[in-house]
Amino acid sequence: MEIYFLGTNAGVPTLQRNVTSIVLRLMEERRSFWMFDCGEGTQHQVLRSPLRLGKLEKLFVTHLHGDHLFGLPGLLSSRGYQGGTAPLTVYGPPGLKAFLDVSLSVSQSRMPYKLEIVEHTGGLVFEDETFKVEAGLLEHRIDSYGYRVTEKDSPGSLNTELLQSYGLKPGPLYGKLKKGEDVTTESGVAIRASEVVHEPKKGRIVTILGDTRPCPGSLPLAQGADLIIHEATFAHDLAEMAYQYHHSTAVQAAELAREAEGRELLLTHFSSRYVSQEELTPLLEEAQAIFPQTLLAEEFCTFPVYRRK
């Protein structure tokens, strides 16, 4: 599980950074990837990346401002041209379906795959045997949501050396033991699952917050997360401007990560006033003074999601 950024700028694209799009790569878990937001030009960014749109399984929209949304019709259309035939589900706030219905119908876009659009107002938006995705309302000029992606705990591995000492070879009984069932070998040896199965692997939690100023809704989404991705539109000397525009500073993002007891914080959604990556250094230093495990997002860079020990 790893994060890959296709866009990190706020509002409009610049020569240095594109507008928001974040990818959660799940190649080992699902052999696919999920996308969060799809600003204008995202499909061009995909072309410069190792990603293939045919592997895009789910797309989550935080809110309906253009810098998070305007790339979506083109990307959905291009996915079909690039060999994408597997179903795709797009999740987002009310109004998303109307936007896509008009865009795709007026342009007579035809896609060789099943497209499902799921509108939500928070709560549990997706769950299967491996992952759960919850959404919560934040505080922005329009309804903006954060997403909490929870990887479910996985069974512990088998102590194969101990099993072999019992004379048990790989087979159906291995599967029963991994499910927690006690078994008896053909020779009559009783084996308790608790003695041969290691502790379950704790699932990871990734929190991706949409545009927001500090608000109570952020904390439940970020609580105990292994990775928190938070906007940092401004340095803290512009905190009043950030509040007026319903955005956050790097300091405010770090304060949330500290309160949530997160493991790592990634800052993104930077104002165009910070032209280069070097000009973002003061934002990083401000945040690290409060929450040392802070990094700056950078486009076309991979950030692993580490499991808590």
| 6 CB burial (10 A radius; 0-12, 13-18, 19+) | buried
Cβ-based neighbours of 254, under 8 Å, separated by 6 or more: 265, 286, 287, 288, 289, 290, 291, 294
Q: Is 269 annotated as a binding residue?
A: yes
> C-alpha dihedral over 6, 11, 14, 20, to 10 degrees?
0
Q: Is 120 annotated as a binding residue?
A: no
Instruction: Enter the tokens of residue 180.
Output: 């927690």
Point out the residues that are catalytic: 67
- Cα–Cα distance measured from residue 38 to residue 40, given in angstroms and rounded to the nearest whole number: 7
Of residues 198, 194, 262, the one with CA closest to residue 224: 262
Q: Is 182 annotated as a binding residue?
A: no
- Cα–Cα distance measured from residue 19 to residue 121, given in angstroms and rounded to the nearest whole number: 24
Q: Is 65 annotated as a binding residue?
A: yes
Chain-centroid distance of CA 163 in Å reads 38
Q: Is 198 annotated as a binding residue?
A: no
| Residue for token pair 């004379």 | 167
Please state the residue numbers annotated as binding site for Zn(2+): 63, 65, 67-68, 140, 211, 269
Please state the residue numbers annotated as binding site: 63, 65, 67-68, 140, 211, 269
